[in-house]
Every structure is written in C-alpha cells, then in structure tokens.
Amino acid sequence: MNTIEILDKRNCCGCTSCAQKCPKNAIEMIEDKEGFLFPSINKEKCINCGLCIKTCPMLNYEVEEKENFPKALAIKNKNQAEKMKSSSGGVFIVLAKYTIKNKGVVYGASYTDGLNVEHIRIAKEEELIKLQGSKYVQSNMNDVYPYVKKDLQNNKKVLFTGTPCQIKGLKNFLDKEYENLITCDLVCHGVPSQKLLKKYIKFLEEKYNKKIIKYDFRNKEKNGWGLTSKVTFEDGTFKYINSDFDPYYSNFLNCNTYRESCYNCKFAQKIRPSDITLADYWGVLSIHNEFYDENGVSLILVNSEKGNEILKENKEFIEKIETNLDYASSRNKNLISPSTRPDKRNYIYNEIDELSPKVYFRKVLKYKVTPKKFIKLLVPNELKRCIKKIKRYKND
Ligand SMILES: Cc1cc2nc3c(=O)[nH]c(=O)nc-3n(C[C@H](O)[C@H](O)[C@H](O)COP(=O)(O)OP(=O)(O)OC[C@H]3O[C@@H](n4cnc5c(N)ncnc54)[C@H](O)[C@@H]3O)c2cc1C
Ligand code: SF4
Ligand code: SF4
Ligand code: SF4
C-alpha cells in the first residue's frame, strides 16, 4: 500500500502535509466526531505515488542531531509593552519584526472570523499582533505550505511558527533546506479540537448572555505572567478567568482533551525540528532569581546555527542568560516526554454533540477546586508579589 491510511488515530497529528503534497488532490481532511481533522483518500483519483507517506511527520519524524546544539537560554524581550501581549518572554515578536523589517513574511496561528484558529501569512508589522499569544487549540493549516514554498522560491525571508509536528510537516513537504527559512516551534502539551473550543465559547456566551468577540488565553493585565484568560464581549465589557476555575482551561492543563496523537507525540524531546524552540520558563525564579520578571520569562532552545545568528542580530532587543536544560526540563515535562493520557480522555468527547453547552461543561468537563487552589485565589496579588520578592531575596 503506497497511500496514507489511518488505522490508529494516535498516528496522525492532523498537520495536513499529506493533503497539501498530493499531486492529484486526492486527499481531503475530514472532521471526526471530536472535531479533529483526518485525511480521507479518494481512491479514484489516487495514483499510488507514495508522496503522502513520504511527507507524513508521524512516519518520518527523525531529526538530525547537531553538534553543540541545543543551547538552552532564559530570555526576555526588553520592550515591556510587547512582552505584555505575549504569552511568556515575548521573543516571538522580536523575531517576527526582524523578519518583516528584512522584507520577509511570517506564518503563524491567528484567530480568524468566528474565533476559528488558522495559520495565516503576515507581511505587515502592524498585523503581527494577530499571531502573538498562545491559542490552546489545534490551529488549522489549510493550504499554507505551498504559499511558504512560493515565498521561499521568491527569495523572501520566511519565519514559520507552529507546533513541532506542524514544523516537521512543513519540512517534509518542502523536502529540501532553504537558507531563507527560519522555523520556531513550541514546547507543546497537546491540542484540543476547535469543535471543543467553539462549544466552550457558546457556553460562556449563554452564561453571560453576551456575544464574545475576543478570547485571550494568556492575558497579563490582572495577574501578570501566568494562566489567566481574558474574554471580551461585543458590548466592550470583559472578564478575567483563572485557569483553575474554568472547565476548558483546567481540562486542557490536566491533559484531558488532547488529540490522540499528542499522547504519542514524537516531538516531545530535546532534539527538535526547528531552529528555535519557545517555551515558558516555569521555575526560573528558583534558578536565576536575578533574571525573574513578573511579566514573563521564556525558555528557548537554540537548535541550529541559523537560530544562533538571528538571536545575535537581535541582541539589542533581548536580555538572555545561559541556563541548565536538565533543570528546565524538570519543570517542563513536554521537553522530554509526551503528556500522559488520563482515563477521562476515554469519554470526554463522547457527548459533545448530544449535550447542551451548559450540561456538557458543567457535567462532563467539570473540574475540582482543591483547597490549595482556593486559598491561592484568595491571596491578593500584592501579597503574592511580596512572597515572590522574599523568595528572590532568600535565593540571593
Ligand atoms: C498548543 C500549545 C501548547 C503549549 N504547551 C506548552 C508547554 O507545555 N510548555 C511550555 O513551556 N510552553 C508551551 N507552549 C508555548 C507557550 O504557550 C508560548 O507560546 C511560548 O512561551 C512563546 O511565547 P512568546 O512570549 O515568545 O510568544 P507568543 O507571542 O506568546 O507566541 C506566539 C506564537 O505561538 C504560535 N501559536 C499560538 N497558538 C498556536 C497554536 N494553536 N498552534 C501553533 N502555534 C501557535 C503563534 O503562531 C506565534 O508564533 C504551548 C503553546 C501552544 C500553542
Ligand atoms: S499515493 Fe500519491 S496520489 Fe495517492 S493519495 Fe498519496 S500522494 Fe495522493
Ligand atoms: S500526520 Fe499529517 S501527513 Fe501524516 S497522515 Fe496525518 S495529516 Fe497526513
Ligand atoms: S503534542 Fe505533539 S502531536 Fe500534539 S500538537 Fe503538539 S507537537 Fe503535535
């Protein structure tokens, strides 16, 4: 058999690389009941060329090890305003602005109409805001890879960002190295489906009886760097939601809602398919307390000479120090292994169509509030900052 066949859902990450590569347009991405996309082959159109198999990152996931890489850095953007709009230390925006200043283009995940999340192409600096911030859902790649190839062939600088499986999907699709391509992946927990996110948005709209126009997973206005989301309604009002007290967010963080391939992720390791890997530097306070910043610190892995170069060229915009990758991995499990599949995953999507948003999120996605979480919520932010300062002082 020379064509892709999905016998086990754990073996397809939904990158769409096979569908974009197929010379006969024989592959269509079809949504399953849970809302994840899988390839479906039209046997009439297929000529058995085998390109879909060759391009699949779940079948061809090997990444070349490079001498002296990866290098782990604690890093942050010097521009506070840019960092406030970013999930962690705001390094993505520095690399993206550099690319556009050099007449290049940037590809990444953006909300589009109706709060869909898709990969788009950005050529203007003022539009980069669309890509800033993590969207904790699977971004739809549509037919973006051929556009990347065209830009590369036209000698444009391209910065492509995404989950590591999307980066490997692109690299397999291109099937050759391009000097003008720079790739950034993320340390990746896993992704829920867009169907789940849509149902959740509906749940919130019904709860507050208002239309939602914006959903920001990693808002820093109220609590600084952390896991607070901000929902903005059509009438201009907004609400901050703590991840511990939210059905979508808490189930995401507890690994209950991911695509099946995420529990079988080939990319949850220190050797990565990109030039630079971006992550939150959780635990930075305990190892580099002088570098801690309440508005965010990133951990990055520099994986190639190209990654090194782009950081050198942007050194005036960032602060960085070398760090210990083993320590960083101990605080960020997905750098070394995939998320563990919990039993709850067996049934979490089962009644997504049958139950109303209210019943579904209150019953199936209900979450536990532990006393520790409750006490944490009651502690005023000023006191939390004082505790962090004391911790920094004690570590000095
Ligand atoms: C699904 C997902 C899971 C993650 N899991 C972890 C984790 O376990 N540990 C950890 O340390 N960090 C994780 N991250 C990364 C983290 O949330 C930040 O994105 C990272 O710290 C970079 O932040 P930044 O401040 O440099 O830039 P930001 O401006 O926050 O980064 C934005 C970049 O993320 C990309 N992006 C946003 N949403 C998506 C998406 N849905 N799919 C693909 N690309 C997307 C954008 O294209 C853009 O390039 C995850 C990110 C995502 C999207
Ligand atoms: S074998 Fe070739 S023609 Fe058939 S589905 Fe795969 S890529 Fe398309
Ligand atoms: S992982 Fe990507 S390339 Fe492989 S079968 Fe799934 S969608 Fe196709
Ligand atoms: S966990 Fe792995 S398979 Fe899932 S989206 Fe992230 S990189 Fe892809």
The protein residue with its alpha carbon nearest to ligand 2, atom 2, reads 49
| Best residue for ligand 1 mutational test, from 79, 87, 220 (most atoms within 8 Å of Cβ) | 87
Nearest to 29 by CA among 48, 52, 10, 47: 52
- Strand, coil or helix: 30: strand
Q: How far apart are CA 317 and CA 101, in angstroms?
A: 14
79 token code pair: 């521009």
**The ligand 1 atom nearest the CA atom of 298:** 21
The protein residue with its alpha carbon nearest to ligand 1, atom 3, reads 188
CA distances to 91, 180, 235, 272, 323 from 68, rounded to whole Å, are: 22, 22, 53, 14, 14
Q: Tell me the pLDDT tens digit for each residue of 1-43.
A: 677 888 799 999 999 999 999 999 999 999 999 999 999 999 9
Q: How far apart are CA 218 and CA 136, in angstroms?
A: 10
| Best residue for ligand 3 mutational test, from 9, 12, 36, 171 (most atoms within 8 Å of Cβ) | 12
Which bound ligand lies closest to the C-alpha atom of 42?
2
Q: What is the CATH number of domain 9-55?
A: 3.30.70.20
The predicted pLDDT at position 347 comes to 97
Query: What backbone torsions phi and psi does residue 381 show, to the nearest 5 degrees?
Result: -60, -40
Rounded average pLDDT over 324-345 = 97
pLDDT at 377 over 80: no
- Whole-model pTM? 0.96
Q: Tell me the pLDDT tens digit for each residue of 248-301.
A: 999 999 999 999 999 999 999 999 999 999 999 999 999 999 999 999 999 999
Q: Determine the distance separating the centroid of ligand 4 and the alpha carbon of 198, expressed in angstroms.
A: 20
Q: How far apart are CA 340 and CA 247, in angstroms?
A: 19
254 token code pair: 């507890």
| Best residue for ligand 4 mutational test, from 141, 184, 262, 333 (most atoms within 8 Å of Cβ) | 262
Cβ–ligand 4 contact at 164 (below 6 Å): yes
Q: Tell me the pLDDT tens digit for each residue of 193-226.
A: 999 999 999 999 999 999 999 999 999 999 999 9
Q: How many residues belong to the chain?
A: 396
**The ligand 1 atom nearest the CA atom of 90:** 25
Which bound ligand lies closest to the C-alpha atom of 137?
1
Residue-range domain boundaries for the chain:
9-55, 71-191+270-335
Which bound ligand lies closest to the C-alpha atom of 162?
1
Q: Determine the distance separating the centroid of ligand 1 and the alpha carbon of 154, expressed in angstroms.
A: 28
CA distances to 17, 20, 43, 113, 196 from 108, rounded to whole Å, are: 16, 17, 32, 16, 21
Nearest to 299 by CA among 336, 340, 327, 268: 327
Q: Tell me the pLDDT tens digit for each residue of 86-103.
A: 999 999 999 999 999 999
CA distances to 33, 283, 291, 392 from 322, rounded to whole Å, are: 45, 15, 11, 19
14 token code pair: 């939904």
In the chain, % of residues over pLDDT 90: 90
The predicted pLDDT at position 7 comes to 76
**The ligand 1 atom nearest the CA atom of 280:** 11
Q: Determine the distance separating the centroid of ligand 4 and the alpha carbon of 276, expressed in angstroms.
A: 16
Q: How far apart are CA 366 and CA 380, in angstroms?
A: 26
Give residue ranges with CB within 6 A of ligand 2: 2-3, 22, 24, 26-27, 41, 46-52
The protein residue with its alpha carbon nearest to ligand 3, atom 5, reads 12
- CA end-to-end span of the chain: 62
Cβ–ligand 4 contact at 188 (below 6 Å): yes
Q: Tell me the pLDDT tens digit for each residue of 123-158.
A: 999 999 999 999 999 999 999 999 999 999 999 999
The predicted pLDDT at position 1 comes to 67
pLDDT at 396 over 70: no
CA angle 383, 74, 307 (to 5 degrees): 150
Query: What backbone torsions phi and psi does residue 263 show, to the nearest 5 degrees?
Result: -80, -5
Cβ–ligand 4 contact at 89 (below 6 Å): no
Burial class, 314, CB count within 10 angstroms (exposed 0-12 / middle 13-18 / buried 19+): middle
Half-sphere exposure of 130 (CA within 13 A, CB side): 22
The predicted pLDDT at position 56 comes to 97
Q: Determine the distance separating the centroid of ligand 3 and the alpha carbon of 313, expressed in angstroms.
A: 35
Which bound ligand lies closest to the C-alpha atom of 55?
3
The sign of the dihedral angle between the CA atoms of 104, 134, 291, 286 is negative
The predicted pLDDT at position 386 comes to 74
Nearest to 43 by CA among 26, 59, 55: 26
pLDDT at 391 over 80: no
**The ligand 4 atom nearest the CA atom of 190:** 1
Strand partners for 112: 116
Burial class, 210, CB count within 10 angstroms (exposed 0-12 / middle 13-18 / buried 19+): middle
Which bound ligand lies closest to the C-alpha atom of 173?
3
The predicted pLDDT at position 381 comes to 72
The pLDDT-based confidence of 375 (bands split at 50, 70, 90) is confident
Instruction: Identify the DSSP state of 334.
Output: G
Nearest to 240 by CA among 217, 206, 256: 217
Q: How far apart are CA 375 and CA 396, in angstroms?
A: 28
pLDDT at 394 over 70: no
The predicted pLDDT at position 359 comes to 98
Q: Tell me the pLDDT tens digit for each residue of 79-88.
A: 999 999 999 9
184 with 278: CB under 8 angstroms?
A: yes
